[in-house]
Amino acid sequence: MFTPVETSIGAFLLHEATTTLLYQNGNVLGASGLLRQLFSHPTRETLTFFAGMAASLLPLKFFLPDLVVEYPVVPTTLSAAVMSVGIGALVGWGTKLAHGCTSGHMLCGLSRLSPFSLTAVATFFPVALLTHHIAHPSLYTSACPSTTTPCYTPTYPSKDTLSTLLLLATLVTLAGRYLPSLIASATTNPKTTRSKAIPASSSAIAPARLTTRFLSGLTFGLGLQITGMAHPSKVLSFLSFPNMQVWDPSMGLVILFGIVPNLVEIQMRGFGKPPMFNSKFEFPVRSFRDVDWKLVLGSAAFGVGWGLSGTCPGPAVLRAMRQPVWGLLWVGGFWAGGKLVRD
């Protein structure tokens, strides 16, 4: 069902996760790239980010159990296992070819006004929509269990849930913005100034960078779960448009309260000064000249996988932590699919 309050707050946390990592460590939060790094050449920062994502379940479980995502039971048939591996491989191959997925291109790329990311999103979104309509002609999803109440009918949290949710979002936001700086102040030479370039490999700022990674992962995981985007049915319900009976417009609020704040902050702050804990921003600058058949084909392949399952790499990580057998199949396919693309 449509959850405007929870989704809006969760979307703002997605904004915080991506811009905090960008302006403190100089990195783009691209879930597919990070997941690939985890298996190809893991680093402390990569491991710390995923540790943060894993930790995001704890505050929800203890304080907001109603917001913990309950995933569908994993089928134990051979055909279901092959399907999980196949979709994972399609997403892995597509995101490797297209250099990103929903987080890297949609959340981070669009807000930087990247023509490369705009092309990717303009490809995988309609392909996912079309794929969902073809593969699931009934358009039924478990996110809309009622056959009489339209899925776009809003539901609202109780006052206690809302107050707890706002408190959690505030604490996580403040921690992400200020805790790494406090740690940096305690571990670096007081004579060091922002005018001096600090390389990412500097041992003096390593604790601050790791803290940023952990808190970005934590905030990102919370955002995915609170918005409901971690649940495949929630995503598929959005892709059911224009069938209004089963359409859940929640993802539209992710665009409004996740991408738009990213856009505003990036346009206001720009990239004239280096990030807090790095000497430079580490993301590729691509124009329309860089758009090629690989980007379009890879984005389309990812769109097919996303439209079939409602799962992209970020939510897949969270589900894999809760359902390891499914995770072994999907992530294994993702890794294998990516290996088919030459670096």
Report pLDDT for 314: 96
Judged by DSSP in three states, 2 sits in strand
Which range is least confidently modeled, 127-136, 153-162, 241-250?
A: 241-250
Judged by DSSP in three states, 278 sits in coil
Tokens of 144: 């809309």
2 has which bridge partners? 154
Report pLDDT for 194: 46
Encode pLDDT of 67-94 as tens digits. Answer: 998 888 888 899 999 999 999 999 999 9
DSSP string, 203-259: TTTHHHHHHHHHHHHHHHHHHHHHHTTTSHHHHHHHTTTT-TTT--THHHHHIIIII
Report pLDDT for 200: 57
Report pLDDT for 186: 86
% of the chain residues with pLDDT over 90: 79
Mean pLDDT of the chain: 91
Report pLDDT for 191: 53
The DSSP call for residue 182 is: H
For residue 220, give its domain range: 4-339
Instruction: Name the nearest CA neighbour of 236 among 82, 133, 315.
Output: 133
Encode pLDDT of 293-325 as tens digits. Answer: 999 999 999 999 999 999 999 999 999 999 999
Place of tokens 């196949």: 86
Report pLDDT for 34: 96
Report pLDDT for 130: 95
Q: What is the count of structural domains for the chain?
A: 1
Encode pLDDT of 167-198 as tens digits. Answer: 999 999 999 999 999 999 888 765 544 445 55
Confidence of residue 108 (pLDDT cuts 50, 70, 90): very high
Place of tokens 């879930």: 31
Question: For the whole model, what pTM was predicted?
Answer: 0.93
